[in-house]
Amino acid sequence: MKNLYTLILFVALIFTQWSCAPSGQTVEGSLTNAQNLQVFLDQVVMGKANSVIGKTDLDANGNFAMNFETPLAPGIYNFRIGAKRVNLFFDGSEKKVTITGDLNTIQQYNFTVSGSSSSQALAQIMNGLVNRQYQADDIENFIDTVSNPLLGAFVAYKALGGNPDFLDLQKKAQARLVADMPNDANTVEYGKYLAQVERQLQAKMANQKVRVGQPAPDIALKSPSGKEYSLADLKGNIVLLDFWASWCGPCRRENPHVVKVYEKYKKQGFTVFSVSLDGVDTRSRSRVQSEDQVNQLLERSKDRWVNAIAQDGLAWEYHVSDLKKWESLPAATYGVRSIPRTFMIDRDGNIAALNLRGAQQIERELVKILEKDGSLKG
């Protein structure tokens, strides 16, 4: 009887401890330069307004704590103080999440977060995006390899936004999301958002001067050495027509990807025809007083173009420009209003694809052409 009483007492004690154990979630931390402000936590659904689910005050030392009775649902959250905000990502297993940093730099994702491995992964890639360390290929790799498809979709949504040139990457992220969580609010709203982006792309394509399936208009211009190259002379090759400039940061960051694909496929009839928008346009001319000064500007711009070719290792020979900057005749012919801008041209001289960015996108379209004509080699 005594043993039975002891057992009942032991079970009751265990039950009491279990029932009193914390089963919720805490988001706490310490932020410098944020004393006596308010901190908010919002739940995020892509494409919809955020919902406030928690708020508290930071004390005189910048410390705060928000306690939730039950663990927060898996998903995306917005952590904000005043006009500064960053995103967190919870997978539902978190008990205590701790955030430390400086309010002045938190929006650049210069903070530490513990207790949430998904938030750590998100902060790392967002910091890289803010500092322009990641490009389209990096985003695609993240989408392909991240274990949580919602995290992949959210990074695509934040990094690529409504840019229709990257719709295929966002659709890849959406496909993983639909397969894993088809009825989630984020999946539904993200689908609506991408449908809107696709409509914008269709409208943009309808206004394109040069469209897929049409013959590529010829370009005949001189190289830095004075030799004239014609795009039409490259018929029989697969050509990436690339509009760029030495002064264009995104172009320079894109160049290593173009070089990578060129080196891999140049023996299979792939080359690049680069049209530079370096030079002097009417606006630039209006800033100088004499024709001599205009010529000096032209020479300096040409030197920067030549140096960029060498610095970026653009090993193909087809580099041309009329040195008229935004008044470039080929740019007008192809409807180029921003750079980098690319056009993939098949062996018959027809436009096969537009607006390719990153090695993976370029290679994907190139391989389609090689497979179609049976010339793909290992």
Contact of 190 with 153, CB cutoff 8 Å: yes
CB count within 10 Å of CB 202 equals 10
* Residues 364 and 235 both lie in one domain: yes
Residue 4, in any domain of the structure:
no
Quote the CA–CA distance of 15 and 12 in Å, as a whole number.
5
CATH number at residue 293: 3.40.30.10
Residue 41, in any domain of the structure:
yes
* Residues 122 and 142 both lie in one domain: no
pLDDT digits (tens, 9 = 90+) for 191-228: 998 998 888 777 766 666 788 899 999 999 999 999 99
Domain end, chosen from 75, 102, 128, is at 128
Quote the CA–CA distance of 144 and 122 in Å, as a whole number.
15
- Alpha helices (H) along 67-135: 117-130
The tally of domains found in the chain comes to: 3
Residue 5, in any domain of the structure:
no
* Residues 235 and 317 both lie in one domain: yes
* Residues 124 and 58 both lie in one domain: yes
Long-range contacts of the stretch 247-254 (C-beta < 8 A, 24+): 247/278, 247/304, 248/277, 248/339, 248/340, 250/339, 250/340, 251/339, 251/340, 252/308, 252/312, 253/132, 253/135, 254/135, 254/340, 254/357, 254/358
* Residues 242 and 349 both lie in one domain: yes
Q: What domain range includes position 358?
A: 220-372
* Residues 245 and 367 both lie in one domain: yes
- pLDDT per residue, tens digit, the chain (378 aa), is 444 344 333 333 333 333 333 468 999 999 999 988 999 999 998 888 888 999 999 999 999 999 998 889 899 999 999 889 999 999 888 999 999 999 999 999 999 999 999 999 899 889 888 888 887 788 888 888 888 999 999 999 988 888 777 888 889 999 999 999 999 999 999 999 899 888 877 776 666 678 889 999 999 999 999 999 999 999 999 999 999 999 999 999 999 999 999 999 999 999 999 999 999 888 877 777 788 887 888 899 999 999 999 999 999 999 999 999 999 999 999 999 889 999 999 999 999 999 898 888 999 999 999 998 877 765
Residue 9, in any domain of the structure:
no
Residue 61, in any domain of the structure:
yes
Helix (H) or strand (E) holding 174: helix 167-180
Residue 76, in any domain of the structure:
yes
Residue 353, in any domain of the structure:
yes
* Residues 113 and 138 both lie in one domain: no
* Residues 183 and 274 both lie in one domain: no
* Residues 91 and 151 both lie in one domain: no
Is the overall model pTM greater than 0.85, yes or no?
no
* Residues 185 and 250 both lie in one domain: no
| Backbone φ, ψ for residue 245 (5° rounding) | -160, 155
Residue 11, in any domain of the structure:
no
β-strand pairing of 25-32 with 96-102: parallel
Contact of 372 with 366, CB cutoff 8 Å: no
* Residues 237 and 147 both lie in one domain: no
Extract the tokens encoding 33.
Answer: 């330069």
Domain end, chosen from 96, 128, 160, is at 128
Domain end, chosen from 128, 150, 181, is at 128
CATH number at residue 109: 2.60.40.180
* Residues 238 and 360 both lie in one domain: yes
